[in-house]
Chains A and B, each alone.
Chain A
Amino acid sequence: MHELAITQSLFEIVLQHATQAQAKKVKSVRLVIGEMTGVVADSVQFYLELLSKDTVAAGIRAEIKMSPARAQCKKCGKDFTAKEMQWQCPACGNEKLEVTGGKELFVESIEVE
């Protein structure tokens, strides 16, 4: 359910920057979404279509880069992707980890005319 709130926030950012650039049309927005945020990409696109109606960004397309859950092993220092959220170092089997990625949630850029 929190996709609506998140899409509203990101759409405000999009419109603000589009206005600043005096854009006639916003074609697409690039987003980076961490896997651990639980944000569903399809829902973001769906809400974007609704929110963008009758605005300069009508028909905007979301290009979403999902950022996987990542961690660093506290024992051997290996950096790895926690595939399917398996929280164990693939090199040494240690389970004491520093979570280093997967919570990103930002607007990278927009494509305007």
Chain B
Amino acid sequence: MEIKILKNILSVNDQVAGKNQMLLKQHKIFTMNIMASPGAGKTSTVLQTIKALKGIKVGVIEGDISSTIDAETVASAGVPVVQINTGGECHLDANMIQNALVNLPLEEIDVLMIENVGNLVCPAGFELGESLKVLIASVPEGDDKPYKYPGMFTAVDVIILNKIDLLPYVKFNPEAFNKAVKGINSKAEIFPISCTTGEGVYDWAKWLKKQIKKQ
């Protein structure tokens, strides 16, 4: 006997994500799910963004397969941090975030930055309860990545292109990159930045503040 089901496989995750979103909204917290490949500069961008959002209270959830290196780096910026070690899982899911939220002082946070596990495939499918999906791409990865990881590049609201200070040394065509992104995700904003020189961070933070106010 055949039983029709037609149910989204990740529906359980999506339900928990919905609960997270409700809790975060109750506390008027603007939440970012920050995704990128390993080494694109997620932690550096988080630190630069915290600095640029001066006056706004930030909390951070650090997702890594193992280690607390990133959490320690971020904690040194003086913001509350919770580390999630996924123990092998290549992405964060809504349940991990639900558990992490218990350990954060939600009353004292306006913006929550969730640094996902470095990976351009798996994190794209798992809703966490965020207000904004952010992808950090970086110049050394090459300008063809939107075509190679369309699942990720079409899932996000905004793309930060990091390490633009390396443009003179690396074969990377910013126009080709922009064209590729806009071709498959016309709504995505793109902000070229350098965490090393600070270039572009102001424009990114300005746009971000606008989104935070909107919520």
Partners in one complex: yes
Most A Cβ at <10 Å: residue of B122, B148, B182, B186: B122
Check A85 for interface membership: any CB of B closer than 8 A: yes
CB distance from B156 to the nearest CB of A (A): 13
B179 and A95 contacting across the interface, CB-CB below 8 Å = yes
Q: A106 in the interface, Cβ–Cβ < 8 Å?
A: yes
Q: Once bound together, how far apart are the Cα atoms of A13 and B10, in whole Å? A: 10
Is there an interface contact between A85 and B150, defined as CB atoms closer than 8 Å? yes
Known A-B contacts A38-B121, A87-B147; A112 and B3 likewise in contact (beta carbons under 8 Å) = yes
Interface size on A (CB < 8 Å)? Answer: 38
Contact of B150 (CB < 8 Å), options: A74, A87, A96, A113:
A87
Q: Which residues of A contact B5 (CB under 8 A)?
A: 13, 17, 107-110
Given A38-B121, A99-B150, A13:B3 Cβ within 8 A: no
The number of chain B residues with a CB under 8 A from chain A is 34
Cβ B183 vs Cβ A97 within 8 A: yes
Would you call B91 and A2 a contact (CB within 8 A)?
A: yes
Closest 3 CB pairs of A and B: A2-B122, A36-B151, A38-B121
B88 CB within 8 Å of chain A: yes
Collect the chain A residues with CB atoms within 8 Å of residue B185's CB.
Answer: 99
Partner among B1, B10, B148 whose Cβ is within 8 Å of the Cβ of A9: B10
In the complex, how many angstroms separate the beta carbon of A6 from the nearest chain B beta carbon? 6
Tell me the minimal C-beta distance from A61 to chain B in angstroms. Answer: 14
Q: How far is the CA of A102 from the CA of B147 in the complex (A)?
A: 14
Residue of A nearest to B88 (CB): A1
Q: Is the CB of A38 within 8 A of B151?
A: yes
A102: chain B residues at CB < 8 Å are: 150-151
Query: A69 to B121, Cβ gap below 8 A?
Result: no
State how many angstroms separate the Cβ of A84 from the closest Cβ of chain B.
10
